[in-house]
């Protein structure tokens, strides 16, 4: 399973209505973490689970769903988390 597929599977726990993950790693080629294999990603996610949550809480929910990937596979994550109403 690819890294993006794994990320999608883990983020599925938030029951998103929309989920797009973009690999931005090429833009950071040559940087230390990129050389070591850690990726740079943008996540666009829409989920009812974010209702009533501020930006920081939403980011923490995404980090929690990704779990140990944040320590070894992902160096940087640009999160755009919204509710279906937003």
**75: pLDDT strictly greater than 60:** yes
**How many structural domains are present in the chain?**
1
User: Alpha-carbon dihedral of residues 12, 48, 74, 23, nearest 10 degrees?
Assistant: 80
Residue with tokens 């230390």: 32
Helices 55-66, 3-11: crossing angle, 10 deg rounding: 120
pLDDT value for 38: 65
Residue 85 has pLDDT above 80, yes or no: yes
The parent domain of residue 16 ranges over 3-82
Domain at 60, CATH number: 3.30.300.90
Rounded distance, CA 73 to CA 12, Å? 18
Among 26, 45, 32, 38, CA closest to 84: 45
Q: pLDDT tens digits, residue range 13-57? A: 999 999 999 998 876 555 555 545 568 899 999 999 999 999 999
Kindly indicate the confidence band of residue 80, based on its pLDDT and cuts at 50, 70 and 90. Answer: very high
Continuous segment of H or E residues that includes residue 56: helix 55-66
């Amino acid at each position: 399973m690819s890294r993006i597929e794994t990320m999608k599977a883990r983020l599925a726990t938030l029951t998103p209505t929309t989920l797009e993950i973009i690999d931005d790693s090429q833009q950071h080629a040559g940087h230390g973490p990129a050389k070591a294999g850690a990726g740079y990603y943008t996540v666009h996610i829409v989920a009812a689970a974010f209702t009533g949550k501020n930006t920081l809480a939403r980011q923490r929910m995404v980090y929690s769903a990704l779990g140990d990937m944040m320590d070894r596979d992902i160096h940087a994550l640009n999160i755009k988390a919204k509710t279906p109403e937003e």
